[in-house]
Amino acid sequence: MKNQFSKSVVAILVSLLLPIAVLFITVKVAAYRGDPDQVDVKLKSEHIPSVDHSQFEILQQDFEHPRDVTAACLSCHTGRDEEVMATAHWKWEREEEIPGRGMVSVGKKNLLNNFCTGANGNNGSCMRCHIGLGWKDKSFDFADNLNIDCLVCHDQTDTYFKQKGQGGMPATTETANAAYQVPDYPYVAQNVGLPKKNNCGICHFYGGGGNNVKHGDLEEALLTCSKDVDVHMAMDGPDMACIDCHTTERHNIMGKLYSVSSANTNRIHCEQCHTTTPHNDKVLDNHFEKVACQTCHIPEYAKANATKMYWDWSSAGQTDESGHGYSEDDADGNHNYLSIKGNFVWDDHVKPEYYWFNGTVDHYLSTDTISEAPVKINSLFGEYRDSTAKIWPVKVHRGKQIYDVDNNTLISLKLWAPEVGQGAFWKDFDWDTAARLGMEYNDRPYSGNYDFIASEVYWPINHMVSPKEQTLTCIECHQRDGRLTGLNDFYLPGRDYNKSVDYAGFGLIFLTLIGIVAHFLGRIVAFFKNR
């Protein structure tokens, strides 16, 4: 009896309890997750100025012109002018290498886009966002250091603005109006400091002629947002300024935008603060090799206000009975038609598209001819087998824009002019004249024959990082029809499978079951027969 009892105990132990224990340990091990790294960085907002600018006599004068302010700045901050004049903020172009095409100089100065087609030639309006004072035409002197506008970046009073249509000049006594007054220069000059969010945002939020038109992930909501919109810049979070990540040395602000640059240099990366293994979790940290942080941590962009996704220029130019331009809004209150610009599609809470990207980019240069439709305004380099490439979230802005049918080139339009009758499309609605004048200003040939062609531009998404609870879950990509459906130059677990193996495997299982059922029925029949 005792023997029987101990046998039963052993049986329960080895056949039940120990296997369950192993299973339990396995489940426990599987449930283990490391704690994510905590980041501790000193923010620029904690910076204490070493001087009080209001004490300086030179800043207490009645400046007549912003150039005089610049001169006063440079009298103490010697050599800074050279730093500023070496940056893309000043030059609006960079010498960079496009892989396979060699060194080129690209930037807002000379590239085309599929928003307003290009800045050059529309200076009065577009160059308002240049950090110079009055780049109104080709006569602007890039070698004159007094043309630097120190205040637009360093103003802390929120009272210094560049005037609309003045190519980057603030209002003067001649141009001042209800919307733009002459700045109080002594007040502004005595209250300068490190750039705040809105110093950067005044240009970078409004590119393309309105809030969030271009980027989708950079807009005025970031000035006062919650963590749901951006964990870094949130008011209820660390409330970081742009320059906390875009670290700056000698006026070279790190970070760049790939719609206007090409080379994998001077970039900023999440691992500056977060390390390359921030999750302390192997399976997640492994993804760093091939997946940009942004891909999982920015599940959607344009989280507060809509961004422009599609722009069809071909319908622009319609006027009402009295020959004036007009506008129509969509259900959300965004323009979906403007006579001066055509039709738009806006969207908010947009899921990005995903592409391989290794930090280098090709561009449609002003000397290029069109080789495909849609025309790629820029294209991101990278593929699975490129060890430097990662999967990135991208805003793709698509549209239809004017091109020269005979020369097979995208056209730089003259859109803006101060007055009617100067050939600008926004004033005169004349495609041919606007195209001719725009191309002329850019020293490019124009045949007189134009039509519209589809185009797309790729903007990697970097901002509007979500709280970790809203991060993409695995299944968003690791499923048959997930976010990475279009990116199929590699085997992705959960998405991909071998058709033949799956058919054969399920076939085998099916046949096994059929065989078992048949055999089992045979045994039942035999059982009754043999009784």
- List interacting residues with other proteins (CB under 8 A): 7-8, 10-11, 14-16, 18-20, 22-23, 25-27, 29-31, 283, 286, 289-290, 384-385, 387, 473-475, 478-480, 490-491, 493-498, 501-502, 504-506, 508-509, 512-513, 515-516, 519-520, 522-523, 525-526, 530
**Could you tell me the smallest distance in angstroms from the CB atom of residue 500 to other proteins?**
9
**Could you tell me the smallest distance in angstroms from the CB atom of residue 295 to other proteins?**
15
Of the pair 25, 223, the CB lying nearest other proteins is at 25
Of the pair 42, 480, the CB lying nearest other proteins is at 480
Residue with tokens 């489940």, as numbered in its chain = 27
Of the pair 12, 43, the CB lying nearest other proteins is at 12
**Could you tell me the smallest distance in angstroms from the CB atom of residue 390 to other proteins?**
10
Token digits of residue 284: 């997640």
Token digits of residue 217: 């992930």
**Could you tell me the smallest distance in angstroms from the CB atom of residue 427 to other proteins?**
55
Are 37 and 54 in contact by the 8 Å Cβ rule? The answer is no
Token digits of residue 412: 């730089």
CA distance linking residue 358 with residue 292, whole number of Å: 10
Of the pair 291, 350, the CB lying nearest other proteins is at 291
Token digits of residue 136: 């109104």
**Could you tell me the smallest distance in angstroms from the CB atom of residue 516 to other proteins?**
4
CA distance linking residue 496 with residue 392, whole number of Å: 20
* b/e code 442-461 from CB counts within 10 Å (16+ = b): bebebeeebebbebbbbbbb
**Could you tell me the smallest distance in angstroms from the CB atom of residue 505 to other proteins?**
3
Of the pair 76, 508, the CB lying nearest other proteins is at 508
**Could you tell me the smallest distance in angstroms from the CB atom of residue 361 to other proteins?**
22
**Could you tell me the smallest distance in angstroms from the CB atom of residue 474 to other proteins?**
4
Nearest-5° Cα angle at 275, 272 to 278: 135
Of the pair 42, 529, the CB lying nearest other proteins is at 529
The DSSP bridge pattern shows strands 390-404 and 307-312 to be parallel
User: 460 - beta bridge partners?
Assistant: 394
* b/e code 497-507 from CB counts within 10 Å (16+ = b): eeeeeeeeeee
Other beta carbons within 10 angstroms of residue 11's beta carbon come to: 11
Of the pair 332, 496, the CB lying nearest other proteins is at 496
Beta-strand runs (E) in 285-358: 307-312, 327-329, 335-338, 342-347, 353-357
Of the pair 281, 348, the CB lying nearest other proteins is at 281
